[in-house]
Structure 1
Amino acid sequence: MSVNIYVGNLSYDMTEGKLSELFSAHGAVTSAKIITDQYSGRSKGFGFIEMEDGQAADKAIKDLNGKNVMNREMKVNIAKPKTSTRR
């Protein structure tokens, strides 16, 4: 079962390729997505990584949470499921 990981406080210069590379040191990365503003196309400073293996994901979270990458201290944790805000 794959694990979805939230990665916050990213440098605006971070690319999905670099993010994937960072996490692939810990295990197989299924996908890397940086969230961008739909109008400007600029990074919002956070993204998501999907990893195949739960143990590798746990190790990546432990090793990378708080790590300084591109002068930003990354926040890394298990992504919370998206909640519906419809009324």
Structure 2
Amino acid sequence: MATGTPADEGDIRIEEDDILDNGSDLLTSTDHMSEDPDMEALTNRMKEIEEEAQLIRQMQSDVEKQMNMSTGSNTSQSVASIEDKIEADSRSVYVGNVDYCSTAEELEAHFHGCGSVNRVTILTDKFTGHPKGFAYIEFADKEAVQTALALDESLFRGRQIKVCAKRTNRPGVSTTNRPPRARGRGGARVIVKYIYAGYRARRPPRRRGVFAPY
């Protein structure tokens, strides 16, 4: 029976070592293959999270822009309304010591020679509706105000009236130490040529039951 030579035995051992090395390499490559899907899934998830975060940041940026635009629009409207009021007041005069029975038509006729009249406002008590004794005249042009000031201390319905330029009341600014009064319901002025402002009907008082002793 033939036996292998030492050289043949050495070759066999080398081949066994190669097989073992190749087997370990195969196991290692198999492990990497088993880990690759997990890493790929994790990488994809990280990309999705980053995309979602970027989308959220974009949405927040859009909301902030819209809020800033809305705030700027409201502020510009408020400034515009104040400027309009200042411009209208610059074309108006205050008339004091007005007879309580005076009408807007009579006041317009009294100031008609000063210029075109846009509006006559007679202030009235908001509870009783009675005139307060003063009014505002708004002209179409600022030049009419200077002419109207010449009617200061002139006679109107037998009374000497006081005429001066109308002051603009800025919201939140008071000329006294008292805080500004809050506005209640009603009291809104209707923009017409003749205004009797401030009247509000008062409800009749409730009658209390009379206690009758027994």
| TM bin (shorter chain) | 0.7 to 0.9
In structure 1, give the amino acid aligned to 2:160.
Answer: E
Q: Distance in 1 between matches of 2:93 and 2:152?
A: 11
Q: CA deviation at 1:68?
A: 1.3
The corresponding residue for 2:154 is: 67
Q: Deviations over 1:28-69 (max 9, x none)?
A: 00100110011111110001000111222211111x100011
What is the percentage of aligned positions where both structures have the same residue?
31
Q: Aligned ranges for residues 1-87 of structure 1 at < 5 Å?
A: 2=88, 3-62=91-150, 64-83=151-170, 84=172, 85-86=179-180
Q: Deviations over 1:1-54 (max 9, x none)?
A: 650110000000111111111112211001001100111111100010001112
| Cα pair 2:93 2:148 within 8 Å, conserved | no
Q: Distance in 2 between matches of 1:11 and 1:25?
A: 20
TM (norm. structure 1) is 0.87
Q: Distance in 2 between matches of 1:36 and 1:43?
A: 4
Q: CA deviation at 1:86?
A: 2.5
Unaligned ranges ≥5, structure 2? 1-86, 173-178, 182-214
| Cα pair 2:110 2:156 within 8 Å, conserved | no
Identify the structure with bigger relative contact order (alpha carbons < 8 Å, sequence gap 6+): 1
TM (norm. structure 2) is 0.38
Over aligned residues, Cα RMSD in angstroms?
A: 1.7
More helix by share: 2
Q: Distance in 2 between matches of 1:51 and 1:67?
A: 19
Aligned residues: 86
Unaligned ranges ≥5, structure 1? none
